[in-house]
Structure 1
Amino acid sequence: MGRHHEMLMFHAISQSPSLASAAQRLNVSGPTVVRAIARLEARLGVQLLSRSTRGVLLTEAGAAFMADCSRILKEVDEAEACAQGLHVQAQGSLTVLLPLLFSRYVMAPLLADYMDLYPEIRVFAQYHDRIANMNEEGLDVAVLVGHLPSSALIARAVGNVRSIVCASPAYLAAHGEPVVPQDLRNHRLIATQANQDRVQWSFQMQGEPSNIRARTRLSCATLQSAIDAATHGAGVTRCVSYPLYDYLNSGRLRRVLQPYEPPSTPVQVVYRERRKAPMRVRSFVDYIVERLREHPAMRPDVC
């Protein structure tokens, strides 16, 4: 019996409560399944199943091997379907990791458009502002705002985000425009976190990082509420650039202290390295990369 058939036998157990039901699913005898699993355990040199009166359970090694079997068998099915011309368009399940705030302001409409274009794709979206272990967590694609640590992952750059200080034209007309970061101490500052009586904003002065610590006049519980307050003339706020592009382009907010902004942060679409990524992964990566590179929030200057 070949390795592919051994994997099929073993994978059937994940979808069945017992060896007997797994055998019934595969249309083979129970002893055939038992012998196949025994040969597999002997060849691998590890115990994959723990047998008891209540049935069979996966050992730790068995659970890890089951995850690999599921992935490999899925790729085999996709390869055969492609060879037979069955995949007119991408189909299957896709697990993606997206940054929370970036998804709200940028990714949400792109994700909806992608699902309209590829109705046979089921998307499982996770929202976290972190760098995940894509292999261990079974992720297909991740959008990362930040620098990618050294890894075997493929990363496609789509743009950059910046940390921007801004205020409404009406506020700047009434209170003057800060020329250097130290001027912020004389302005009404709006914090983007609740109960924050002081802010510490980083800048770059003559190529060196520099921090300005100053009292706030208004502390908002959410980023959007701080933007809204600044738009209505409540003061000066600072936040990442991607929620601001529409406010800046429309003139409702004005960017200040641009020469002192810290270096920008890259945005990348990341996926696991394979010689040939499945069509569902390629379709998502290609679509999102193209759309993000065209997005006004990713441009070097958002105003």
Structure 2
Amino acid sequence: MDRLLEMEVFDAVNNTGSFARAAERLRMSPPAVTRAIASLEQRLGVVLLTRTTRRLSLTDAGSRFLESTRRLLSEIEFAEREAIGETGVPQGHLTITASEMFGRLVLTPLVRAFQNAHPRITASVISLDRVVNLVDEAVDVAVRIGELPDSSLVTRRVGEVRRIFFASPGYLAWRGHPSHPVDLKSHAMIGFTGVMPNREWHYKTKDAKGHVAINPRLEVNDAVSALDAALAGDGITMALSYMVADHVRQKKLVTVLEDFLPDPVPVHLVYPRNRLIAPKLRAFLDFAAPRLQAELTRLSI
């Protein structure tokens, strides 16, 4: 069987998660897809996929080969478009990911504006509160909030956000404003595991650093629930500044302990490192970077 076809089948199986869906996408029969993967593994002399009745998963060799496969297929696609003079036209499907709250508040409106400017682009926005493996999950670009570990990804910084405590004016009128982190021990706390996973807050001032244990009255794992509880006057919580900036401006929420907040955390666009960047991705990066920077500035506190 043709080597290129085998690689296209291997890529499609990993993109779709099944032999049957890959066959449908490639307009091949399921047995032909099975034969292609078997031929590829036999030729390479390694097992690329492990199969159970419930799911497919990549072996270590399969993960390495998939990265190379996608890089090669991307370069072939680029070469074909260059030959017919289409390399400068952003087109095709783009998959972008971010955290759930950022995806809803910032990324999805931005992607819609990008599509209005580039009508030949289709897009998927994947909002998940976990780190997505861009190569394994066939994602073109991600918005990452926080310090980045060393990796093979290309990064472009677009701004920063702050972790900040806040509560409703009604709650603070009832219980008073905390003046020091230790005062939080006597307040009703709403824990949000996304920014305070260990129930401990490390704070800093101009002269000192410290930490305080937080004992939440209520603990949740999503930002919307934490915000709803704070807006209802149930207590003090912590979230990222972009999540609450509009509520603060509308005086529905009030920030507290601002003199003790940790350093801001960076926000980056990240994407896999390839020798050639597809026009659709380059167009999105150029479109998104300045707009994300402007929006993060607007949502700063």
Aligned to 1:54: none
Deviation at 1:220, TM superposition (A): 6.0
Q: Which runs of 5+ in 2 are unaligned?
A: 11-25, 49-57
Deviation at 1:277, TM superposition (A): 0.7
Please give the alpha-carbon distance, in whole angstroms, between the structure 1 residues aligned to 2:243 and 2:284.
23
Q: Is the alpha carbon distance of 1:192 and 1:152 closer, same or farther for their aligned partners in structure 2, counting shifts above 3 Å?
A: closer
Aligned to 2:110: 110
Aligned to 2:76: 76
**8 A contact 1:135–1:272 mirrored in 2:** yes
Summarize the alignment of residues 183-222 of structure 1 with structure 2, pairs less than 5 Å apart: 183-192=183-192, 200-205=200-205, 206-214=207-215, 216=217, 222=222
TM-score when scaled to structure 1? 0.70
**8 A contact 2:159–2:268 mirrored in 1:** yes
Deviation at 1:12, TM superposition (A): 7.0
Question: Which whole-Å deviations, capped at 9, do the CAs of 1:135-164 have from their partners, x for residues lacking one?
Answer: 343332121122221122211111222221
**1:131 and 2:131 equivalent?**
yes
Q: Is the alpha carbon distance of 1:299 and 1:192 closer, same or farther for their aligned partners in structure 2, counting shifts above 3 Å?
A: same
**8 A contact 2:103–2:126 mirrored in 1:** no
User: Aligned with 1:158: secondary structure?
Assistant: strand
Aligned to 1:122: 122
Letter in 2 for 1:283: A
Please give the alpha-carbon distance, in whole angstroms, between the structure 2 residues aligned to 1:124 and 1:233.
36
Please give the alpha-carbon distance, in whole angstroms, between the structure 2 residues aligned to 1:18 and 1:224.
43
Aligned to 1:29: none
Q: Is the alpha carbon distance of 1:109 and 1:292 closer, same or farther for their aligned partners in structure 2, counting shifts above 3 Å?
A: same
Summarize the alignment of residues 1-303 of structure 1 with structure 2, pairs less than 5 Å apart: 7-8=3-4, 10-11=6-7, 15=26, 16-17=28-29, 41=43, 46=45, 68-69=68-69, 71-82=71-82, 84-86=84-86, 89-192=89-192, 200-205=200-205, 206-214=207-215, 216=217, 222-295=222-295, 298-299=296-297, 302-303=300-301
Deviation at 1:294, TM superposition (A): 0.6
Identical residues among aligned pairs (%): 31
**8 A contact 1:158–1:292 mirrored in 2:** yes
Q: Is the alpha carbon distance of 1:73 and 1:255 closer, same or farther for their aligned partners in structure 2, counting shifts above 3 Å?
A: same
Q: Which runs of 5+ in 1 are unaligned?
A: 23-32, 50-58
Q: Is the alpha carbon distance of 1:254 and 1:122 closer, same or farther for their aligned partners in structure 2, counting shifts above 3 Å?
A: same
Please give the alpha-carbon distance, in whole angstroms, between the structure 2 residues aligned to 1:170 and 1:260.
23
**8 A contact 2:202–2:211 mirrored in 1:** yes
**8 A contact 1:89–1:118 mirrored in 2:** no
**8 A contact 1:97–1:142 mirrored in 2:** yes
Letter in 2 for 1:302: S
Name the stretch that deviates more: 86-95 or 199-208: 199-208
Q: Is the alpha carbon distance of 1:150 and 1:118 closer, same or farther for their aligned partners in structure 2, counting shifts above 3 Å?
A: same
Letter in 1 for 2:300: V
Please give the alpha-carbon distance, in whole angstroms, between the structure 1 residues aligned to 2:139 and 2:3.
22
Q: Is the alpha carbon distance of 1:183 and 1:122 closer, same or farther for their aligned partners in structure 2, counting shifts above 3 Å?
A: same
Count matched residues: 265
Letter in 1 for 2:101: L
Q: Is the alpha carbon distance of 1:63 and 1:254 closer, same or farther for their aligned partners in structure 2, counting shifts above 3 Å?
A: closer
Please give the alpha-carbon distance, in whole angstroms, between the structure 1 residues aligned to 2:280 and 2:147.
25
Q: Is the alpha carbon distance of 1:230 and 1:78 closer, same or farther for their aligned partners in structure 2, counting shifts above 3 Å?
A: same
User: Aligned with 2:129: secondary structure?
Assistant: coil
Deviation at 1:258, TM superposition (A): 0.9
**8 A contact 1:142–1:270 mirrored in 2:** yes
User: Aligned with 2:214: secondary structure?
Assistant: strand
**8 A contact 1:10–1:66 mirrored in 2:** no
TM-score when scaled to structure 2? 0.71
RMSD value over aligned CA atoms? Answer: 3.8
The structure with more radius of gyration: 1
Deviation at 1:273, TM superposition (A): 1.9
Q: Is the alpha carbon distance of 1:67 and 1:144 closer, same or farther for their aligned partners in structure 2, counting shifts above 3 Å?
A: closer
User: Aligned with 2:135: secondary structure?
Assistant: helix
User: Aligned with 1:147: secondary structure?
Assistant: coil
